[in-house]
Amino acid sequence: MKIKNWTDKITDESDLWLNAIKMEDGNNFSEASVFYLNDATESLKRNLLIRAALSCLGAAECLVRMGHHADARKIYLEAAVIYEENSDRIIGESVRESLWSLQEAYESFLLASDYARAQQIFDKYTFLARKLNPFFGEGEAMDLLRAKKEAIENIQKNWSGFDNTKNSSRLCEAIENLITLRNNTRRPTKTPLEQVSQMIKQKGVAE
């Protein structure tokens, strides 16, 4: 059996991510959403959380461009929760990636219009930043997240129009498959104290 090299992979017509990008570049946002959602589902099955979250964001952005804001918010919400789960999972190995994941979760919760969850992430992020840098960490963290919130608010102001057309059956199925999988595999998230406890159990803190 032939082993694929990197050139084979980026031209592989069966690659869901590649096909999603092709459809998006061709302004076929419905089909692009299907490919992104299917890629997110397959990535979750392989425990590739970051790729799954990125695919969710790709699908959500396509749905926004179609005017399907309610469905877009559902998918932004899934991306947010996946990023938070990744933050919990990676905290003992890399604090840097854990904090980055929380930043992405915060933005995604805002895009999903789940402001209560966004505030929880804000508190979690600033708590961890304060523990890591008691003198400047919290202030810098708050400034960063507030700037992100302002940027998201500006993005949402440009969300235009509603498309009252129904999603294709393929798109509906892709959304349902992702949501069903997430409902069956969702992990409980850690509190900031639990994250810090996990951090100090490691031999040193990885950056």
Residue range 32-63, pLDDT digits in tens: 999 999 999 999 999 999 999 999 999 999 99
Reported as a single tens digit per residue, the pLDDT across 171-206 is 999 999 999 999 888 777 766 566 666 555 554 544
Domain covering 16-188 assigned CATH 1.25.40 in the classification: yes
8 A C-beta contact, residue 181 and residue 44: yes
8 A C-beta contact, residue 116 and residue 139: no
Reported as a single tens digit per residue, the pLDDT across 73-113 is 999 999 999 999 999 888 888 888 988 999 999 999 999 99
- C-alpha to C-alpha distance for 94 and 151, rounded to whole angstroms: 27
- The reported pLDDT for the residue numbered 43 is 95
Residues 6+ apart with CB under 8 A from 176: none
Nearest to 168 by CA among 16, 83, 62: 62
- The reported pLDDT for the residue numbered 13 is 46
pLDDT band at 146 (very low <50, low <70, confident <90, very high): confident
Question: Could you state, in order of their start, the residue ranges of all structural domains in the chain?
Answer: 16-188
SS (HEC) of the chain: CCCCCHHHHHCCCCCHHHHHHHHHHCCCHHHHHHHHHHHHHHHHHCCCHHHHHHHHHHHHHHHHHCCCHHHHHHHHHHHHHHHHHHHHHHCCCCHHHHHHHHHHHHHHHHHCCCHHHHHHHHHHHHHHHHHHCCCCHHHHHHHHHHHHHHHHHHHHHCCCCCCCCCCCHHHHHHHHHHHHHHHHHCCCCCCHHHHHHHHHCCCCCCC
Whether 120 shows a pLDDT value over 80: the answer reads: yes
Give first-to-last CA distance, the chain, whole Å.
39
